[in-house]
Structure 1
Amino acid sequence: MAAATIADVAAGPTVGLLPLVALGPAFAGLTGGPGRTALVGGLALVLCTALGWYDDLLPGRRGTTALVSVAGVTAAGLAAAVMRQRRERELAAVRTIARVAQRVLLRPVPRAAGPLNAAVSYTAAVADARIGGDLYEVVTSPGGVRVIVGDVQGKGLEAVETAADVLGAFREAAHDEPDLLGVSKRLERSMSRALSGERFVTAVIAEIKEDRTVTFFNFGHPAPLIVHPDGTADFVEHQENAPPLGLGLGGGDAQPLQVAFRPGDQLLLYTDGVTEARDGAGDFYPLAARLHLLETESPELALEALHEDIVAHAGGPLGDDAAMLLLRYRSPEAVSSPREATAAPS
């Protein structure tokens, strides 16, 4: 408005710059609230009136038209500001509800689960979303610490709904079933009922027992990693993975795989959004070559460093949901068996 005023004074009444003062209330309605828009509109009317008298356009058709234009734009700006504020309040309420729903669906994992420390990293591909088609959970049961990491086929709200079904079934089964085979069969039955068509879920479920072993069932999911203290790592690969959950192809008949998991080892479960992150040349993220990033005292900091490295490799936001779950033993004392504790020197 100041620029329009100076230009009008410099150019004189013959150029016709007086209506440009209306740009003030027009932009105020887009960026400010009703009060600010009304204030800017009032100032615009004062400037338009003063310039109209200065240019000897008032009373007259051109001056009156300019005043009516400024008043009309101010009224439109006020209406736009009111509607925008209403939409912003509605959006804020929806986001609050969404955050609560997301927190219920993907609850924060417990930092201490039995003898283990747990940390999770999750990045949703959809902007401003906290959840997507990937899922995770950690449950402490009488049989041991049971975990799941999975990936729902597809994206959007339908994938979130499926993730909710998987997590609900796993949470119930993890507490009720006496062994991990029962959990896997229950998951397959639940997903066969819940899913239709070609929808499916890849997942790894695992149980860490007191005897320092971990049992896996893999339903078409990327192989977990066990990282040893010396920096070496092993992919926990079945000879033949079971088919994904929900396809009705006998996933409940999956075969378990049991490996040692000792103090000092780290167990990393992840989704394909991690390993399929591409750089500018189209190369996948070399997860096995970056496991040295996990060598920190805190599992949370370890996953944070790994996530930042994945984003740097991709050169920006990831194109797919990416979830990582890291498990460690808390301390040698936390996992000592009663026999070892008795035999230890005083």
Structure 2
Amino acid sequence: MAADPTATARRADVTAAAHGAPAAGRAELRYLIGRVLPFLVIVLATLADALTSPQERFDRFLIAAPALAAATWSARGTAAIGGLTMGVTAALTVVRGDDLFPALLAGQVVLGVVVLAAAVSSHARQRREAELRQISAVAEAAQSAVMRPLPPRLGTVDLRLLYEASAACAHVGGDFCKALQVRDGVRIMLGDVQGKGLPAVEAASLLLGSFREAAYTAPDLPAIARRLEESMARYAERAPRSEAADRFSTVLLAEIPDDRPVIRLLSCGHPAPVVQRDGTVETVEFSSPSVPVHLPVPVDLPFTVEEVPFGPGDRLLMFTDGVSETRDRDGAFYPLEQRLRAWADEPADRIPGLLGDDLARFGARGLVDDTTALLVVRDGPAGGRLPPQPLAAARS
């Protein structure tokens, strides 16, 4: 993880340096090639026409120049390149000694029509790009409201957040995360709303608002989970036609008390977190995971809390399915536990950055889903360390 949690919370700059920057560089290179290509066509067609016999007529390729310009140049720029093309065509006709009428006139009329069509196409492209920029700005603002930077430290724990948008960047996602310091410790929520787009962001914002209210007053994690369920149910009653009202969410709740070396976890259909302790890495085993929040199937099951040892120096990695469901070209899932064992001696600040970098290389198509991972590090007094025991040994 980068040392600046604020920057990494928004776009995981360490990861962006590994795979986002090269992608941007390639896009810029393609854009520059598109800008130069019309002039290259004009130069090559002119040279070929001048250096070959009059019967070859390479000037016919000049008509491609304004059409290519429409892809990257403005409407005025496209028209200017079209005008240059018409001038070069006329000059080549004169040099060859062809009849100015009707051959040149007919060719210029046809070329003028192509230039006009290319300029109109360029103008339409510019309008679409402007609309997409506005939509992207709105989506970015909505996503930023959900994935706000976390403080680097709360109570007795350090927090390191990695968030990376999907490689496609076609939709904003429904990943969300929040950590709050309450009277006796720290409470954390990390989750993922079904689907993508603004409805997913809306559902995530509802859950975040509910968590912010419940975290300070709820007596335990099951009470918070019930508040999340009630908030989504009330919203569905108030706005039954909203797409957000139809979305369910997987949620992982965590509670780290200040006075005990433990962490309490409650999973509502969310991937189980991984604990790293003294060089060992284990996935937390939930005896009875709860169903996702606002699942459109009535299920009346109790919320089960797992209490596992979590003393000074221990680390817990919470993540969304952007991590757990990343596959390589052979269809194999990302070996998270294996990677964390290899990084056992790495500073905590580096783990999320290493994870994002490695995921981008491992995935067959890069990051195809939003990727969120929160590393929680116990780095403070916690009333002593519990003796070693299996992760699922203590339950409430």
Which of the five TM-score ranges fits, normalised by the shorter chain? 0.7 to 0.9
Cα drift, residue 244 of structure 1: 1.8
Query: Which protein has the larger Cα radius of gyration, Structure 1 or Structure 2?
Result: 1
Amino acid at match of 2:157: L
- 2: CA distance, partners of 1:294 / 1:166: 33
- Of residues 313, 317, 333, the one that matches 1:264 is 313
In the TM superposition, residue 211 of structure 1 has moved relative to its aligned partner by 1.3
Counterpart CA distance in 2 for 1:239 and 1:18 is 76
1:58/1:64 contact within 8 Å kept = no
1:244 aligns with 2:289: no
The equivalent of 2:347 in structure 1 is: 297
User: Whole-Å Cα distance in 2 between the matches of residues 204 and 152 of structure 1?
Assistant: 12
Q: CA RMSD in A?
A: 2.7
Provide the C-alpha distance between the structure 1 equivalents of 2:361 and 2:57, rounded to a whole number of angstroms: 54
**Residues 25 and 77 in structure 1, CA contact (< 8 A), matched pair in contact too:** yes
**DSSP-derived class of the 2:100 partner:** coil
> Which amino acid is the alignment partner of residue 249 of structure 1?
V
Q: Aligned pair 1:235/2:271, yes or no? A: no
Which has the higher relative contact order, 1 or 2, with Cα contacts under 8 A spaced 6 or more apart?
A: 2
Q: Which residue of 134, 149, 153 corresponds with 1:108?
A: 149
Kept in 1: contact 2:147–2:175 (CA 8 A): no
Aligned partner of 2:154: which letter?
Answer: A
2:373 alignment partner AA: M
Q: CA deviation at 1:143?
A: 3.7
SS at match of 2:191: strand
Deviations 1:20-39 (CA, angstroms, capped at 9, x unpaired): 32222222222212343233
Q: TM-score, normalised by structure 2?
A: 0.75
Q: How many residues align?
A: 331
| Aligned residue type for 1:304 | G
* TM-score, structure 1 normalization: 0.84
Q: What is the rounded CA distance, in whole Å, between the counterparts of 2:177 and 2:231 in structure 1?
A: 17
Determine the structure 1 residue equivalent to 2:3. none
Instruction: Please give the alpha-carbon distance, in whole angstroms, between the structure 2 residues aligned to 1:336 and 1:238.
Output: 24
* Deviation of the 1:214 alpha carbon: 1.8
Cα 1:325–1:44, aligned 2, differ >3 Å: closer, same or farther?
same
Q: How far is the alpha carbon of 1:16 from its aligned partner?
A: 4.8
Correspondence for 2:193 among 152, 160, 171: 152
Amino acid corresponding to residue 140 of structure 1 in structure 2:
Q
Q: CA deviation at 1:15?
A: 4.9
User: CA–CA distance in 1 between the matches of 2:226 and 2:92?
Assistant: 81
**Counterpart position of 1:119:** 160
Using the aligned pairs only, state the percent identity: 36
Structure 1 contact 132–321 (Cα < 8 Å) conserved: yes
Q: Determine if contact 1:204/1:221 at 8 Å carries over to the other structure.
A: yes
Q: Is 1:327 the counterpart of 2:368 in the alignment?
A: no
Aligned pairs (5 A) from 1:182-331? 182-194=223-235, 199-212=247-260, 213-228=262-277, 230-247=278-295, 248-250=298-300, 253-292=302-341, 293=343, 295-299=345-349, 301-330=350-379
Give the match for residue 342 of structure 1: none
The 1:264/1:95 distance shift into structure 2, 3 A limit, reads same
Please list every run of 5 or more consecutive structure 2 residues that lacks an aligned counterpart in the other structure: 1-41, 384-396
Residue 44 of structure 1 aligns to a residue whose secondary structure is: helix
Give the equivalent residue in structure 2 for 1:169: 210
SS at match of 1:148: strand
**Deviation of the 1:199 alpha carbon:** 4.7
User: CA shift at 1:326, angstroms?
Assistant: 0.5
Q: Which amino acid aligns with 1:201?
A: S
Aligned: 1:67 with 2:108: yes
- Within 2, Cα distance between the matches of 1:25 and 1:62? 20
Task: Please say if 1:32 is aligned against 2:32.
Answer: no
Corresponding residue for 1:341?
Answer: none
Q: Which amino acid aligns with 2:340?
A: L
Is the CA contact 2:74–2:122 (under 8 Å) kept in the aligned structure 1? Answer: yes
Q: Is the 8 A contact 2:172 2:198 kept in 1?
A: no
Alpha-carbon distance between aligned partners in 2 of 1:15 and 1:322, rounded to the nearest angstrom: 57
Match of 1:87 in 2: 128
- Partner AA of 1:169 in structure 2: S
How far, CA to CA, are the matches of 1:122 and 1:24 in structure 2?
A: 43
Structure-2 change in CA distance of 1:42 and 1:211 (3 Å)? same
Query: Is residue 201–residue 246 contact of structure 1 (8 Å, CA) maintained in 2?
Result: yes
Query: Letter of the aligned partner of 2:251 in structure 1?
Result: A
The aligned residue for residue 21 of structure 1 is: 62
Contact 2:146–2:177 (CA under 8 A) maintained in structure 1: no
C-alpha separation in 1, matches of 2:52 and 2:265: 81
d(CA) in 1 for partners of 2:92 and 2:362? 59
Offset at residue 302 of structure 1 (A) = 0.7
- Contact 2:318–2:374 (Cα < 8 Å) also in 1: yes
**Cα distance in 2 for residues equivalent to 1:273 and 1:37:** 42
Q: Residues of 2 paired with 1:298 and 1:238: CA distance?
A: 25
1:195-221, Cα deviation, whole Å (9 max, x unpaired): 689853222101111113322212122
Q: 1:98 to 1:321 in 2, by over 3 A?
A: closer
